[in-house]
Amino acid sequence: MARYTHGHHESVLRSHRWRTAENSAGYLLPVLRRGMTVLDVGCGPATITADLARLVAGPAGPATDPTSAGADSGRGADAADAGVDSGRGADAADGGADSGRGAGRADGGVGPAGRGRVTALELTPEALATGSAEVAASGLGNVDLLVADAHALPFPDDRFDVVHAHQVLQHVADPVRMLTELRRVCRPGGHVAVRDSDYAAFAWHPRLPELDDWLALYRRLARANGGEPDAGRRLLSWAQQAGFTEVTATSSTWCFATPADRAWWGGMWADRVTRSAVADQARAAGVTDRELRRLADGWRAWADSDDGWLSVLHGEVLARP
Ligand SMILES: C[S@@+](CC[C@H](N)C(=O)[O-])C[C@H]1O[C@@H](n2cnc3c(N)ncnc32)[C@H](O)[C@@H]1O
C-alpha cells in the first residue's frame, strides 16, 4: 500500500478545504442530476463531497445550479438553496433523462427513498473524521461516510450512478486497480470521474531556485511513498488499462495570481514544507531543517512578488463503464 504523502496537518487541510465542486469538478457538473447516487472516493475534508450532495439532493431531476449550491464560494452554502429540502424544485417528471447521456432516471427511484445521496469514503478513521465534521456542519442529510480502501471497495457491482475521485489516484499504489474498482461499482451508463494534478507541469513566475528544489523534493518523496506525482497526464492511459473504452480526457487548471491568492497558496506551502507530513518525510530522507526553511522562504518570496503567478495543471477523465 502506498503511503499518503501529504498527511492531514492543518496546513494540508487548509488547501483541501478551499476546494469546491466548481473549482475542482467542473468537468463532472454537466452530467449531475438530482436523485443520483454518487460515490466520492478519498473524500478528505469533504468540501467537494458536500457540494456534490447539494447538487444531487432530491428526487430525480436536473441538478441545481452549482452557484446556488454554494459551489462558487464553497463554504457556508445554505443547504436549502441547494434543493436539499426535498420540496425544492424536484420535478421527477423530467427525470434527468433528457440529456440522452443516461445521466438520470425518469422513475425518480434513484437512491434510498428516491433522493440523491452521496457516499464518501476515506482510508482511515482519522482521515474520515475531517470529512465527517464538514458534513455535520453542513447540515446535509444525504451523505453517508465510511472507511474503505479504494483498491477494494465494499460495494456490489453497478451500485452508483457516478463514481468520483479527486486527487486520489496520484497517491495510491495501483491506480489501474483502483480505476477497475471504480468501474465495477458504477452502473452501466453511469460515469466515473477522476481528476489529478500533474506536478511536473506546475508552472510559475518568477523563476526561483527554491521552488525548483521544492518540486524536485516533493516528486522524490511522493514516488518513494509509492505514488505518482505526475498523474494528470497518465489518467487516460490508466483508464484504458482499466478497461474503459468510452473516455473523455480533458484538462483544467487552478491559477493563483492575486496578492490574496499568492499569500494563501505560498503561505500554505511554506507551512506544509516545514510542518506537515511532507516535512517529516523529508527529514527522514536526510533533508535538514535549514534546507526546509530555505524552501519555505522561497514560497514566501514568490507570494511577495508583485508579478507572482502559478498554475496547477490537472488531467481529468470522464468515463462510461
Ligand atoms: C489529496 S487528498 C484529496 C481529498 C479530496 N478528494 C479533495 O480533493 O479535497 C487525497 C485523499 O485520498 C485519501 N486516500 C489515499 N489513498 C487512499 C485509498 N487507498 N483509499 C481511499 N482513500 C485514499 C487520502 O487519505 C486523502 O484524504
CB 159 within 8 A of CB 135: no
150 lines ligand 1 (CB under 6 A): yes
List the residue whose alpha carbon is closest to atom 10 of ligand 1: 168
Sign of torsion over alpha carbons 46, 15, 63, 29: negative
For residue 109, what pLDDT band results from cuts at 50, 70 and 90?
A: very low
Is the pLDDT higher at 109 or at 8? 8
The predicted model gives 169-186 an average pLDDT of 98
For residue 7, what pLDDT band results from cuts at 50, 70 and 90?
A: confident
- Residue 81 reports pLDDT greater than 60: no
* Alpha-carbon span 117 to 274, nearest angstrom: 39
Q: Region of 189 please: left (phi>0), alpha (psi -120 to 50) or beta.
A: left
- Residue 90 reports pLDDT greater than 80: no
**Which of 163, 168, 179, 314 to probe ligand 1 with, by most ligand atoms within 8 A of CB?**
168
CB 317 within 8 A of CB 193: yes
- Residue 112 reports pLDDT greater than 50: no
CB 74 within 8 A of CB 47: yes
Domains contained in the chain, CATH given? 10-320 (3.40.50.150)
Cα separation values, 174 from 192, 218, 225, 246, 307, Å: 17, 20, 12, 21, 40
299 Cα–ligand 1 center, Å: 25
* Alpha-carbon span 143 to 39, nearest angstrom: 10
288 Cα–ligand 1 center, Å: 28
277 Cα–ligand 1 center, Å: 14
225 Cα–ligand 1 center, Å: 14
Q: Which residues of 167-187 are buried (b: 16+ CB within 10 A; e: fewer)?
A: bbbbbbbbbbbbbbbbbbbbb
For residue 208, what pLDDT band results from cuts at 50, 70 and 90?
A: very high
Query: Which of 2-11, 60-69, 149-158, 277-286 shows the lowest mean pLDDT across its residues?
Result: 60-69
Quick one: pLDDT at residue 82? 32
121-175 pLDDT per residue, tens: 999 999 999 999 999 999 999 999 999 999 999 999 999 999 999 999 999 999 9
Please name which of 163, 134, 133 lies closest in space to residue 150, comparing C-alpha atoms. 163
List the residue whose alpha carbon is closest to atom 4 of ligand 1: 44
Collect all residues with Cβ–Cβ distance below 8 Å to 100 and sequence separation of at least 6: none
Q: Which three cell numbers stand for residue 7?
A: 498527511
171 lines ligand 1 (CB under 6 A): yes
Is the pLDDT higher at 66 or at 37? 37
List the residue whose alpha carbon is closest to atom 8 of ligand 1: 166
The CA dihedral of 46, 49, 50, 51, to the nearest 10 degrees, is 130
Q: Which three cell numbers stand for residue 138?
A: 453542513
Q: Output the average pLDDT for the chain.
A: 85
- Residue 188 reports pLDDT greater than 90: yes
Pairing of strands 186-197, 160-166: parallel
Collect all residues with Cβ–Cβ distance below 8 Å to 269 and sequence separation of at least 6: 214, 296, 299
Cα separation values, 39 from 35, 141, 182, 275, Å: 13, 15, 9, 32
In order, the DSSP letters of 216-261 are HHHHHHHHHTT--TB-GGGHHHHHHHTT--EEEEEEEEEEE-SHHH
**Can you give the C-alpha Rg of the chain in angstroms?**
20
10-57 pLDDT per residue, tens: 777 777 889 999 999 999 999 999 999 999 999 999 999 999 999 999
List the residue whose alpha carbon is closest to atom 27 of ligand 1: 44
31 Cα–ligand 1 center, Å: 23
255 Cα–ligand 1 center, Å: 22
Nearest atom, ligand 1, residue 165 CA: 6
Quick one: pLDDT at residue 15? 76
